[in-house]
Chain A
Amino acid sequence: MTTPEELRSTVIPDWCPGCGNHAILMSVKGAIADLGLDPKDVVLVSGIGCSAKTPHYVKTYGFHAIHGRALPVASGIRLANHQLTVIAHCGDGDCYGIGMEHFIHAMRRNVNITVLVHNNQIYGLTTGQTSPTSDFGFKTKSTPGGSIERGVMPLILAIGSGATFVARGFAGNPKHLRGLIAEGITHKGASLIDILQPCVTFNHVNTFAWYRERVYDLKDAGHDPTDRARAMEKALEWGDRIPTGVIYRTERPPLDDLVPALAQGPLVKQPLERDIRPLMERFY
């Protein structure tokens, strides 16, 4: 049995003290441990951003890729070896900005990966510019007069894209988040967990206190995540009250089950040599 402690890598996190990412790290290690996963069978994949450093801090396999491309890399890994648990760590800019097309298609494709979006409503690593999830009027280095665009609503977008597991967590509630991540990993198909992650250095509006005042647990509110119409309502709720927990869940065969080659077991375990002479035969 793996403990969260054993999942700690030798690399010391260099996130700012007090950053919401620390709690996400703790929660993901907790979830992996709770599920009893063997670290050699887990791959954490990331793009670029503060969030993207996560794989270095967990003693599993990892792939620290390029900005916005965590999801295609993760999908490729999973389809090549569907015995692996593949978890993607993305930033809000990473996933809903530069990587938005992959996000929509990963949801529709329903590859069995877990997508954790460290949503701090800002570009952290590049020292504080507006992000696709920044609220209207939000002041940053790139929007000194306040953002004149409204933010995207990732959860409704995910449902609209065909996601089969849509949830929101909060770095200020790691125990709850740990459970959500475990649920997401267990879910068959792509799962999205958008995580409210305060950036204590560059986002002085959406702070721990700001979120804490607004978040509530959908479970307490008696929400039924299988009710799509209600789920869509909840996915649109943003402002004075922000729902957390599983917003929407449904069952649809994951892509891994539909790709013909994978019926014979993981792609990487299949023999490399093949006889192409029958294929050549059609060219005479």
Chain B
Amino acid sequence: MPRAVKDVADKRNVLSIMIGGEAGYGIMTSGEILARSFSRGGLHVHTDVEYPSLIRGGHNTYQVCVSEAEVWGLREKVDVLIALDDLTIREHTRELRPDGKVLFDLYENPIDPKKEFPDLRAEVVPVPLSQIVKEKNGDKVMRNTVSIGACMALIDYDFSFLEDVIRSTFGKKDVEVGNANVDAAKAGYDYIIDKAKCTVLKRVSRVGGAPRRMVLTGNDAIALGALQGGLRWYSAYPMTPASSILHFMAANEKATGIVVRQTEDEIAAGTMAIGASYAGARAMVATSGGGFCLMVEGLGLAAMTETPMVYVLAQRPGPSTGLATRHEQGDLQFALDASQGDFVRVVLAPGDVDEAFHHTFNALNLADRYQIPVIVISDRYLSESLRTTLPFDLSGKKIDRGKLLTEEQLAEAFDYKRYEDTEDGVSPRALPGMKGGLFVANGDDHYETGESNEDPDVRKQMMDKRFKKLKALTEEIPGPTLYGPPDADATIVTWGSCKGPCMDAMNILLDKGRSVNLLHFIYLKPFPRKLALEKLKKARMTIGVESNRTSQFDRLMREELKVSVDKKIRKYDGRPYFAEPLANEIEEAMR
């Protein structure tokens, strides 16, 4: 029986576990199982996956950060490394804390770790993964199941949660498979308890009486938000990191009664959705930067025909194919202005899964209410990392279709004009099939009836009509949210998915006694000028944090507010921010 030592890493007590190996080893499934096991024990979890653009043979890792307190993002340092191959140790020695542990099958790979990895300070805990699997007559891929069982013993966490999750993961389709995996995990667990000569890394314990929390990705939350928002149509062309929305929608096509189409390309995905929306179905598409490029002509069509549309832009590093499976926030300026000509749009970027749910829901309402395209920006990090969150609050979620007419209202309308120049710029909308509403939705500029018209006065009038929507829209756009102490020496200013790492960094700095708070923007266009200025006025020093090369959000601020942040922190190495180095950089910037 190993000796238990209470261990403290930083004041937030985050335990960071990484499982790594060759792609195809079931790394992702194992990581998710770990995450859910912790969540069921009342703990907070944030995960991320790293994988190259390969299906087999590449090096994959899955990191799970877990804590009794809320954890917003990733830690750079790793406490427990589950190495399914020696490459994992080689690649991640740098991240391993000196007092960390490496779970490794030294029996299968009889190497001398001291010699092979001279920089390795962490303790190597040998576990005969392959032999245990053999004894259980299991498939080689079950090594990861054994390893996560062993991990649970190593951190002294209740096996019952792992058992539960394994059963609900594998056992749904086949009880036998579920049992076999529980057995394998238990064997790993028991091996550590009974045979291993190592200390236990006890940092987190189950939290009794904690509320039930979901564990899901940003993409899951986007999909759920859209479905809650009455989505009826989803079309897409596969592209990482947006693809899992397509998979989710397709898997639930029957259960939800939506139409899901994989089209020949993103041009078709976008324009088919426009057709569906014109006919009256709430429609959404999702893609990454390259696919969004192909959708942009259609974006203008949606704007000109005043057809409600929601575009999810899950960013990855560009240009071109860039780093296909990596992270960046490099498409902000593109999303803000991608167009032929000028039109009103909403651009918003949720910061976490909860915001992804609520603001995707809102995106569908905004699209309908203002009859405009709405762009929801995500990125590889938000789209694919799992996070624990309370069940989404569904109260007060009202679907608002704006000025969509009923057939009865249409019957009473005198001389119906689809593009009527109204006071707020939004025109009553009829749908094909309705009596009395005949009109042509027109991508050429047009008069109120929809008839093409090139008269200079009409052009100006109709441009102004469409832009009138900005007034009410700007009034209802939420401003940025301030986190941390209301008054601080330095204010971190960020947008979208950088929220998580910035929250962690802020908390680390606050623990150290630094005076810092955080201003986070979700709504970016129209820019919430007044509300932003109100908050920024109080900031003594601003530090911008974003994941791109050219400080794209800062460019937006300069354009909208004529101010720039005082210090800029940027990251564009294809990886998300980690809490500790970001905290260091912020601290440095505060000097």
Q: How far, in whole Å, are A261 and B377 apart by their CA atoms in the complex?
A: 28
Given contact pairs A76-B235, A76-B279, a sample of 4 additional A-B residue pairs in the complex whose CB atoms are under 8 Å apart? A63-B440, A76-B278, A264-B257, A268-B279
CB-CB under 8 A from B279, the residues of chain A are: 43, 76-77, 80-81, 84, 267-268
**B530 at interface, CB cutoff 8 A:** no
**B431 at interface, CB cutoff 8 A:** yes
Assuming the contacts A84-B432, A268-B431, asked whether A274 and B272 have C-beta atoms less than 8 A apart, the reply is no
Nearest 7 CB-CB pairs, A to B?
A76-B275, A272-B230, A62-B440, A80-B279, A268-B280, A76-B272, A61-B432
**A205 at interface, CB cutoff 8 A:** no
- Which residue of the partner chain, among B252, B267, B431, contacts A72 with CB atoms under 8 Å? B267
CB-CB under 8 A from A187, the residues of chain B are: none
Query: 1/0 per residue B189-217: CB within 8 Å of A?
Result: 00000000000000000000000111110
**A66 at interface, CB cutoff 8 A:** yes
Task: Give residues of chain A (22-79) contacting chain B, Cβ–Cβ below 8 Å.
Answer: 39-41, 43, 45, 48, 53, 55-56, 59-66, 69, 72-79
CB-CB under 8 A from B224, the residues of chain A are: 276, 279-280
Contact assessment for B259 and A259 in the assembled complex, using a CB-CB cutoff below 8 Å? yes
Assuming the contacts A72-B267, A276-B227, A283-B216, asked whether A261 and B253 have C-beta atoms less than 8 A apart, the reply is yes
Contact assessment for A40 and B435 in the assembled complex, using a CB-CB cutoff below 8 Å? yes
**B34 at interface, CB cutoff 8 A:** no
Q: How far, in whole Å, are A105 and B230 apart by their CA atoms in the complex?
A: 28
- Which residues of A approach B to under 8 Å, CB–CB? 11, 39-41, 43, 45, 48, 53, 55-56, 59-66, 69, 72-81, 83-84, 101-102, 104-105, 259-262, 264, 267-268, 270, 272-274, 276-280, 283-284
**B258 at interface, CB cutoff 8 A:** yes
CB-CB under 8 A from A76, the residues of chain B are: 233, 235, 271-279, 283
Assuming the contacts A61-B440, A276-B224, asked whether A101 and B433 have C-beta atoms less than 8 A apart, the reply is no
Q: How far, in whole Å, are A79 and B300 apart by their CA atoms in the complex?
A: 22
CB-CB under 8 A from A81, the residues of chain B are: 279-281, 431-433
CB-CB under 8 A from B252, the residues of chain A are: 279
Interface of chain A, main secondary structure: helix
Q: How far is the CB of A90 from chain B (nearest CB, A)?
A: 13
Q: How far, in whole Å, are A102 and B298 apart by their CA atoms in the complex?
A: 14
Task: Give residues of chain B (411-442) contacting chain A, Cβ–Cβ below 8 Å.
Answer: 431-442
A-B pairs with CB below 8 Å: how many?
A: 193
Contact assessment for A80 and B214 in the assembled complex, using a CB-CB cutoff below 8 Å? no
CB-CB under 8 A from A262, the residues of chain B are: 259
**B305 at interface, CB cutoff 8 A:** yes
Q: How far, in whole Å, are A124 and B378 apart by their CA atoms in the complex?
A: 42
Chain B count of residues within 8 A CB distance of the other chain: 70
Listed by A's residue number, 10 A-B pairs whose Cβ atoms lie within 8 Å are A62-B442, A65-B274, A69-B301, A73-B272, A78-B275, A260-B257, A274-B256, A276-B227, A278-B255, A284-B214
CB-CB under 8 A from A60, the residues of chain B are: 438
Assuming the contacts A11-B451, A261-B259, A270-B257, asked whether A63 and B278 have C-beta atoms less than 8 A apart, the reply is yes
Task: Give residues of chain B (508-541) contacting chain A, Cβ–Cβ below 8 Å.
Answer: none
**B570 at interface, CB cutoff 8 A:** no
Q: How far, in whole Å, are A79 and B522 apart by their CA atoms in the complex?
A: 34
Contact assessment for A74 and B275 in the assembled complex, using a CB-CB cutoff below 8 Å? yes
**B75 at interface, CB cutoff 8 A:** no
Q: How far, in whole Å, are A80 and B234 apart by their CA atoms in the complex?
A: 11
Contact assessment for B216 and A274 in the assembled complex, using a CB-CB cutoff below 8 Å? no
- Which residue of the partner chain, among A63, A80, A278, A284, contacts B232 with CB atoms under 8 Å? A80
Contact assessment for B301 and A65 in the assembled complex, using a CB-CB cutoff below 8 Å? yes
Assuming the contacts A45-B275, A280-B391, asked whether A267 and B259 have C-beta atoms less than 8 A apart, the reply is yes
Q: How far is the CB of B484 from chain A (nearest CB, A)?
A: 29
